[in-house]
Amino acid sequence: MSFFSGAFGLDLGLEEAGFEVIWANEIEKDFVDTIRRNRPNVNVCEADLTKLDPYEVMNDLRLQAGELALMAGGPPCQSFSTAGRRLSMGDARGNLMLHYIRWINIFRPQCFILENVMGLMSAPIKHTPHAQRGEDWVPTEEELPGSALRYVLSEIDRSGYKVNYRLVNTANYGVPQTRRRLVILGSRDGDLPDFPPSTHSSDPADGLPAWRTLRDALSGLREGYPEYSGYSETRAKYLRQVPAGGNWRSLPKELQPEAMGGAFNSGGGKMGFYRRLSWDKPSPTVTTAPHQKATDMCHPEQDRPLSVREYARIQQFPDSWVFCGGTSQKYKQIGNAVPVGLGRVLGIAVQNALAERTTLVKA
Active-site residues: which are they? 77
Rounded Cα–Cα distance for residues 55 and 63 (Å): 10
Rounded Cα–Cα distance for residues 69 and 246 (Å): 46
Give the chain's largest Cα–Cα span.
73
Rounded Cα–Cα distance for residues 1 and 20 (Å): 9
Rounded Cα–Cα distance for residues 322 and 330 (Å): 9
User: Which residues, 6 or more positions from 204, have their beta carbon under 8 angstroms from its beta carbon?
Assistant: 210
Rounded Cα–Cα distance for residues 54 and 107 (Å): 8
CB-neighbour burial class of residue 219 (10 A; exposed 0-12, middle 13-18, buried 19+): exposed
DSSP 362: H
* Angle, vertex CA 196, rays to CA 190 and CA 202, nearest 5: 155
Rounded Cα–Cα distance for residues 107 and 250 (Å): 53
DSSP 202: S
User: Which residues, 6 or more positions from 154, have their beta carbon under 8 angstroms from its beta carbon?
Assistant: none
Cα 206 from chain centroid?
Answer: 26
Rounded Cα–Cα distance for residues 335 and 194 (Å): 27
- The number of residues making up the chain comes to 363
